[in-house]
């Protein structure tokens, strides 16, 4: 067992756990968007940042991937952490102004407007890739993926047509932190081949 | 340019021992006459863009026309970049070592007549010292070369990169034979540790320590371990790695094989960006020739050690120079970086311990193994040993590639090697380290160039040094431009009031039509250097 401190309280963790897992185990709240217990962490949304203090120096790390170590001290709500989160939320607000969840989360941290230009007022997707990871790791079909890179990156199916591999399980919609996948599922699974409407002959 | 099919047949059989290699080297050396006139034409990317293939063709034709073929058989050798890119196409005539700059096809006749037949230099093609105005005939006397110390670049500009025999004559693969037959892997790691070699990619992590941690990771997790060359040089204005891969691919390959031997790796990768087609081609030829001789592949030199390597081409993503993105790209997935708190020596390519080093770092390894870590540690300054290759671009007289010992003052680079700021303008600032680095103003001119001093000054090692002078561009403009695109440095929009500041002011006229005032520069090989540059769109300029 590894013992270290979260916000001044000593906690125990198994070797190989991440800081986020340990914090959740001990009831310490750390906000996350792209994290889900069912899949490997990817560190995409950066919202789970915490401050690691080791002796005289400290650094900001993402708790969903930072491995626990003996004797470190974690601060989940220090002024530095809050400042970084506010920045992240401001950028998320500009990236997907259409998301109710992001707006609510931003409001929690006192962020109501973004100083960055928002180009797509209805955008909801934060491109965290959680849907892609669920489709690959849990469902095992990889029907969707990220397409393009940089500002052109988006979530979609191969050749942006209906995906043959999609089993229409809806896992991507379930895990999506902002509900953006709801609007995309139809494009991914295409027209159902078997009509299940009542009364069909 | 010769290729694999042109490998001289008598020695193309497999070598099975160090003695075989030595015998072959001696045989090749005996076949070369040191007094044979030889014309070396630089085929670095910069000179290629300036028309060196045409110059080489014209020289060949002129030699044939003069009927010299039968008498003295002067050879024409095609080599990698000589470094002095702003003066290209470069031609060096051996054995005298005469250095001709900006050689055009129409100069070929005169070179053959005056130099080869009459034995005199062609004055108008010689380098002119910008300070004294004197003509300097010999390569070794030119300040740009005189103040350099060439370890990594020792063969570049001297060997034909597509001919393994040429490299062997100059001592290629001697370090490999020495390591395989007289050193244990542990001793190789010890030599690299003792050399104090630090990663040339920019961060300056001690290479020996990296290898040591990889060995520790292998001991803990078991094999396999991979060695990888990072040839995804993407910083604007940087062309050190490209020059090394193009001009001396065997140095990189030999360094990689030595690293693999030290670490017990059997598979290596060279990740080269797609924008370096010549580097990819030359590495491919080098690997094929080395394989044919048994210097790569199964049972290298009959030692029982097997190692093979493959070239992976990037797909145009700058981020793939970052280790995690590079690994995912090699693994065949989208090259996206992922956050990690585990080092790649423990968990890298395919989750295995991986040693990823820069091209220049690998190219240093053969020399360290051959001459010993202590020899290498004696060059440069403590904590930053050896030499460093810099791309020197921007507002200096001598634009090109230089290799200097670590710890050399910044002033020496700008003034002795760079030849000062054009037009006698006052120096303002120099930027090192590319977009990640910083601008060093005039008051820091005494700053020694080593990893720690640069980091302390808020800049960074590696990449390039780009000077700005007071009147023509502000340092901030240079920094802004540097973060925008790579061609900005060469095709710097000429400020209208400062004509003499542009280093290309004295260059031959451009091919642009209609003629514009930004004549071509030699550093940038792409089509952008001719007509697509923004400067070329201007038809009039106050200085025209």
| pLDDT, tens digit (0-9, with 9 covering 90-100), for B31-56 | 877 777 888 888 888 888 888 888 88
| CATH architecture, range A2-76 | Roll (3.10)
Is B342 at the interface with chain A, CB within 8 A?
A: yes
For an interface test with A, give the residue of B339, B342, B347 to mutate (most A CBs within 10 A): B339
Is A149 at the interface with chain B, CB within 8 A?
A: yes
Please tell me the distance from the alpha carbon of residue A131 to that of residue A127, in angstroms, as a whole number. 9
Give the residue-averaged pLDDT of B204-226.
90
Strands B98-100 and B91-94: antiparallel
Lowest mean pLDDT among B59-63, B309-313, B352-356, B436-440: B436-440
Do residue B317 and residue A149 have CB atoms under 8 angstroms apart?
yes
The pLDDT of residue A32 is 92
Do residue A43 and residue B334 have CB atoms under 8 angstroms apart?
no
Give the residue-averaged pLDDT of B85-102.
85
What is the residue extent of each domain of chain A? 2-76, 130-189
The pLDDT of residue B495 is 34
Which chain A residue is nearest to residue B317, measuring alpha carbons? A149
Q: CA of B243 to nearest chain A CA: how many angstroms apart?
A: 29
Is B325 at the interface with chain A, CB within 8 A?
A: no
Do residue A66 and residue B342 have CB atoms under 8 angstroms apart?
no
Closest CA to B214 of B348, B31, B17, B47: B348
| pLDDT tens-digit readout, B5-14 | 444 444 568 8
- Residue B213 exposed, middle or buried by CB count within 10 Å (0-12, 13-18, 19+): middle
B384 band by pLDDT with thresholds 50, 70 and 90: confident
B32-146 CATH: 3.40.30.10
The pLDDT of residue B159 is 86
The pLDDT of residue B366 is 93
Give the residue-averaged pLDDT of B295-304.
89
* Residue % of chain B over a pLDDT of 90: 22
Give the residue-averaged pLDDT of B467-482.
46
| CATH architecture, range A130-189 | 2-Layer Sandwich (3.30)
Is A66 at the interface with chain B, CB within 8 A?
A: yes
Give the residue-averaged pLDDT of B189-216.
90
Give the residue-averaged pLDDT of B263-279.
92
Is A15 at the interface with chain B, CB within 8 A?
A: no
Cβ-based contacts of A65 with chain B (< 8 Å): 339-341
* Contact (CB, 8 A) for B4 and B285: yes
Do residue B341 and residue A149 have CB atoms under 8 angstroms apart?
no
Cβ-based contacts of A142 with chain B (< 8 Å): none
* Contact (CB, 8 A) for B262 and B185: yes
The pLDDT of residue B170 is 87
Highest mean pLDDT of the ranges A186-190, B303-307, B388-392: B303-307
Is B339 at the interface with chain A, CB within 8 A?
A: yes
Give B449's Cβ-side CA count (13 Å radius): 29
Tokens of B114: 């005056």
H or E segment to which residue B57 belongs: helix B52-65
Range list of β-strands (E), B146-287: 226-231, 267-272
What is the residue extent of each domain of chain B? 32-146, 171-378, 384-500
Question: Could you list the mean pLDDT of each consecutive 10-residue stretch along chain A, which spans 201 residues?
Answer: 90 91 92 92 91 89 91 92 93 90 91 88 90 93 87 87 86 91 83 62 48
Please tell me the distance from the alpha carbon of residue B211 to that of residue B456, in angstroms, as a whole number. 26
B466 band by pLDDT with thresholds 50, 70 and 90: low
Position B530 pLDDT exceeds 60: no
Position B305 pLDDT exceeds 70: yes
Q: Which residues of B, range 395-414, sit inside 8 Å of A by Cβ?
A: none
Is A158 at the interface with chain B, CB within 8 A?
A: no
Q: What is the mean pLDDT of chain B?
A: 78
- B171-378 CATH, one of 3.60.20.10, 3.30.1540.10, 3.40.50.300, 3.40.50.11540: 3.40.50.11540
Cβ-based contacts of A43 with chain B (< 8 Å): 338-339
Do residue B339 and residue A67 have CB atoms under 8 angstroms apart?
no
Is B220 at the interface with chain A, CB within 8 A?
A: no
Position B271 pLDDT exceeds 90: yes
For residue B389, the cross-strand partners are B403
Do residue A65 and residue B317 have CB atoms under 8 angstroms apart?
no
B384-500 CATH: 3.10.20.600
B540 band by pLDDT with thresholds 50, 70 and 90: very low
């Amino acid at each position: 067992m590894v013992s270290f401190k979260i916000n001044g309280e000593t906690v125990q963790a198994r070797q190989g756990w991440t800081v986020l897992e340990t914090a959740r185990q001990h009831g310490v709240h750390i906000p996350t968007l792209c994290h889900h217990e069912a899949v490997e962490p990817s560190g995409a949304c950066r919202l789970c940042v915490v401050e690691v203090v080791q002796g005289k120096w400290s650094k900001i790390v993402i708790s969903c991937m930072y491995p626990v170590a003996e004797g470190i001290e974690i601060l989940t709500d220090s002024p530095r952490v809050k400042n970084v989160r506010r920045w992240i939320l401001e950028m998320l607000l500009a990236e997907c102004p259409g998301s109710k969840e992001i707006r609510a989360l931003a409001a929690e941290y006192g962020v109501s407007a973004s100083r960055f230009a928002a180009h797509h007022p209805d955008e909801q997707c934060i491109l965290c890739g959680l849907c892609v990871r669920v489709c690959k790791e849990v469902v095992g079909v990889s029907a969707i993926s990220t397409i393009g890179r940089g500002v052109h990156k988006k979530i979609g199916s191969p050749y942006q047509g209906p995906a043959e591999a999609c089993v229409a399980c809806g896992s991507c919609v379930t895990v999506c932190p902002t509900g953006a996948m709801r609007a995309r599922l139809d494009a991914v699974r295409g027209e159902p081949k078997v009509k299940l409407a009542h009364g069909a002959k | 340019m010769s290729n694999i099919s042109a490998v001289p047949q008598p020695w193309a059989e497999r070598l099975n021992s160090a003695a075989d290699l030595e015998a072959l080297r001696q045989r090749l050396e005996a076949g070369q006459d040191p007094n044979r006139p030889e014309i070396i034409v630089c085929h670095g990317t910069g000179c290629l863009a300036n028309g060196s293939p045409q110059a080489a063709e014209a020289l060949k034709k002129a030699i044939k026309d003069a009927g010299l073929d039968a008498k003295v058989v002067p050879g024409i050798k095609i080599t990698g970049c000589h470094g002095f890119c702003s003066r290209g196409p470069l031609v060096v005539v051996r054995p005298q070592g005469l250095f001709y700059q900006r050689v055009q096809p129409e100069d070929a006749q005169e070179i053959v007549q005056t130099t080869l037949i009459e034995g005199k230099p062609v004055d108008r093609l010689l380098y002119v010292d910008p300070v004294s105005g004197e003509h300097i005939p010999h390569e070794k006397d030119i300040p740009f070369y005189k103040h350099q110390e060439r370890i990594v670049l020792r063969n570049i500009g001297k060997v034909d990169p597509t001919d393994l025999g040429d490299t062997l004559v100059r001592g290629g693969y001697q370090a490999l034979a020495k390591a395989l037959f007289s050193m244990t892997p542990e001793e190789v790691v010890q030599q690299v540790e003792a050399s104090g070699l630090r990663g040339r990619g920019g961060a300056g992590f001690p290479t020996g320590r990296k290898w040591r941690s990889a060995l520790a990771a292998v001991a803990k997790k078991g094999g396999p371990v991979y060695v990888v060359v990072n040839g995804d040089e993407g910083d604007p204005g940087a062309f050190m790695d490209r020059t090394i891969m193009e001009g001396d691919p065997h140095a990189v390959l030999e360094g990689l094989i030595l690293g693999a031997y030290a670490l017990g790796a059997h598979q290596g990768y060279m990740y080269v960006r797609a924008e370096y087609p010549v580097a990819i081609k030359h590495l491919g030829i080098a690997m094929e020739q080395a394989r044919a001789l048994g210097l790569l592949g199964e049972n290298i030199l009959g030692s029982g050690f097997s190692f093979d390597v493959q070239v992976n081409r990037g797909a145009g993503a700058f981020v793939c120079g970052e280790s995690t993105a590079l690994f995912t790209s090699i693994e065949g997935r989208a090259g996206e970086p992922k956050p990690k708190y585990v080092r790649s020596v423990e968990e890298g390519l395919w989750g295995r311990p991986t040693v990823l080093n820069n091209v220049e770092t690998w190219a240093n390894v053969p020399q360290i193994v051959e001459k010993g870590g202590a020899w290498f540690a004696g060059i440069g300054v403590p904590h930053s040993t050896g030499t460093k290759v810099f791309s020197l671009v921007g507002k200096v007289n001598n634009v090109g590639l230089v290799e200097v010992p670590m710890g050399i003052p910044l002033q020496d680079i700008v003034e002795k090697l760079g030849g000062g700021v054009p037009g006698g303008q006052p120096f303002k600032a120099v930027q090192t380290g590319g977009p990640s680095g910083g601008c060093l103003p005039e008051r820091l001119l005494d700053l020694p160039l080593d990893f720690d001093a640069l980091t302390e000054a808020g800049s960074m090692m590696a990449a390039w040094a780009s000077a700005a002078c007071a009147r023509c561009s502000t340092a901030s403009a240079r920094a802004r431009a540097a973060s925008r695109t790579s061609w900005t440095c060469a095709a710097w929009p000429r400020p209208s009031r400062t004509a003499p500041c542009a280093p290309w002011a004295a260059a031959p006229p451009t091919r642009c039509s209609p003629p514009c005032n930004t004549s071509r520069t030699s550093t940038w090989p792409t089509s952008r250097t001719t007509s697509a540059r923004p400067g070329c769109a201007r038809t009039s300029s106050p200085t025209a």
